[in-house]
Amino acid sequence: MKRYLTAIFIAISVVVIIIGISIDLYWSGIAAWGTALICLLFAAYYTKYIPNEKKKRKS
């Protein structure tokens, strides 16, 4: 499951940006970009769980 979290967090950040831009509230843009940044940081963290095919082939 952890190997899919990178893609999930990227998709969540895209959805948050789209919703945040479409809602016309006072702080919605800043909140959306901040939430998207946090999601992208989590996505970058979980890239270490993506399997590396080159290491498997050498073994």
Of all residues in the chain, the percent with pLDDT exceeding 90 is: 54
Q: What is the pTM of this model?
A: 0.79
Q: How far apart are CA 8 and CA 15, in angstroms?
A: 11
* Positive or negative torsion for Cα 45, 47, 50, 53: negative
Structure tokens at 31: 């909140």
Residue type, 29: G
- The pLDDT score that the predictor gives to residue 55 is 67
Q: Who's near 28: CB < 8 A, 6+ residues apart?
A: 20, 21
Structure tokens at 43: 């996505």
- The pLDDT score that the predictor gives to residue 14 is 95
> Residue 48 — pLDDT band, cuts 50, 70, 90?
confident
Window from 12-16, 17-21, 46-50 with minimum mean pLDDT: 46-50
Structure tokens at 20: 């945040």
- The pLDDT score that the predictor gives to residue 44 is 93
**pLDDT surpassing 80 at residue 57:** no
